[in-house]
Amino acid sequence: MESVSPDYARAHVLIIGAGPAGTACAIRLAQRGVKDVLLVDSHDFPRDKTCGSGLSGSAVAALKALGAWGRIAPLAYPIQGIRVVTPAGHEAVSDGGEDRHAFVCVRRVLDAEMLTVARERGVRFIPHFKAAHPILQGQRWVGMEDTEGRVIRADVVVVATGAHCKWTLSTEPKYSVHAIMGWWDDVPYSPHCVEMIWYRALDGYYGWLFPEGGRRVNIGITYSDRVKEPGARELFTSFLDRHYGERLQGATQVGDWKGHPIVYGWKLGRLWSPGRIVIGEAGHMTNPFTSEGISQAMRSGIFAADALGDVHDGVKSETEALDHYESTCARTFLPSFWASGAFLAAARTPVLDAVVKATQSSFLKNTIGKALSHL
């Protein structure tokens, strides 16, 4: 039985998940003039989200395209440089350059602000809707039922449920890396500079320090699922002892350590079926090396909204528009994923040490600086 309020029992476009992918899609649909868009999420906002919270230049460009950057910029901490440390301890420091600024904006703030922008554009929102079962009419998705038996019917359902998505379409192999992180106050750090530290035990991956502004920093690691021993907490402890032991003396830990998986693929596979579109990390659109997924989430949400806008405007059929959505995601994201794979392979060898040790050239620093915008 449909128990959602009649005002919310039906939508033209239903978006499951109000993170950056879902809200970007909703905002773009409003920009395209598509009416009757409904966002649902299992949480109300603001809510905490375990994430490094870095915004690359590509993410900032997406926010600008959505008309949301003016609201978020005053709440974000600008990053203008990057410090890289290799497994052998060699260092390179790069200024990102005036055109390559990245930012840190904690997800509690970013997600809530994007949702506010969407609602200001006329998008409706229902919190505490825990999606459970798609509603089918033949092979077509026509809505979603939640764990309480409430039903929302829609012409199109956009799936933006992240790494734990039950409704992905791709049959391509998926892979995962793992992240664990914590927050501290009063850790000495260089203002407006992130740190990326390669640690041999992480199997080619890295640890980081992201300043969040004021007294607080986020420190964490990502590591391969090939790493079986030691456990996550032991691995993180050894990393902290090695690289931050002295700087953490006198610092205050804020809350508990938190971890989460990061899902990615070397191929994207299918991203739509009749009535269903998959966006963001639900479609494995996460950088395999940097684990950055916010920009891919927002951009895939924009691409999906543009496809639905073309259908709405009669420019393309559903099949033409959504096939184009798939190809656009592949063309946009896969080259950087493959380049990241090559970098990861190199990071598992002495190559990174040798390059950083031997080459303190402007080319190297320019290459590192580009990471702020393009990884």
272-328: per-residue pLDDT in tens?
999 999 999 999 999 988 888 999 999 999 999 999 999 999 999 999 999 999 999
- Mean local confidence (pLDDT), 112-130: 97
Residues 6+ apart with CB under 8 A from 280: 17, 19, 20, 21, 22, 160, 162, 293, 296, 297, 300, 301
For residue 89, what pLDDT is reported? 87
- Confidence bin at 346 (pLDDT 50/70/90): confident
Q: Residue 157: inside a domain, yes or no?
A: yes
Residue labelled with tokens 């509603």: 135
**Residue 118 structural domain:** 6-54+107-172+266-343
For residue 225, what pLDDT is reported? 80
Among 5-19, 61-75, 150-164, 231-245, the least confident range = 5-19
Residue 372 has pLDDT above 50, yes or no: no
Q: Residue 161: inside a domain, yes or no?
A: yes
Q: Name the 3-class secondary structure at 140.
A: strand
CA 239 to chain centroid, in Å, comes to 24
Q: Residue 350: inside a domain, yes or no?
A: no
Q: Residue 298: inside a domain, yes or no?
A: yes
Residue labelled with tokens 């640690």: 199
Q: Residue 124: inside a domain, yes or no?
A: yes
**What is the percent of the chain where pLDDT is above 90?**
70
**What is the percent of the chain where pLDDT is above 70?**
91
For residue 172, what pLDDT is reported? 82
Among 194-198, 228-232, 259-263, 323-327, the least confident range = 228-232
Q: Residue 280: inside a domain, yes or no?
A: yes
Per DSSP, the chain holds a count of helices (H) and strands (E) of 10, 18
Residue type, 108: R
Residues 6+ apart with CB under 8 A from 79: 54, 96, 101, 102, 103, 104, 192, 193, 194, 210, 211, 372
Domains identified in the chain, total number: 1
Residue 146 has pLDDT above 90, yes or no: yes
Q: Compute the radius of gyration of the chain from its Cα atoms.
A: 21
Residue 88 has pLDDT above 70, yes or no: yes
CA distance 223 to 373: 22
Q: Name the 3-class secondary structure at 217.
A: strand
This prediction has a pTM of 0.92
Q: Residue 271: inside a domain, yes or no?
A: yes
For residue 169, what pLDDT is reported? 87
Q: Residue 185: inside a domain, yes or no?
A: no
The CATH code of the domain that includes 50 is 3.50.50.60
- Mean local confidence (pLDDT), 102-109: 95
For residue 370, what pLDDT is reported? 58
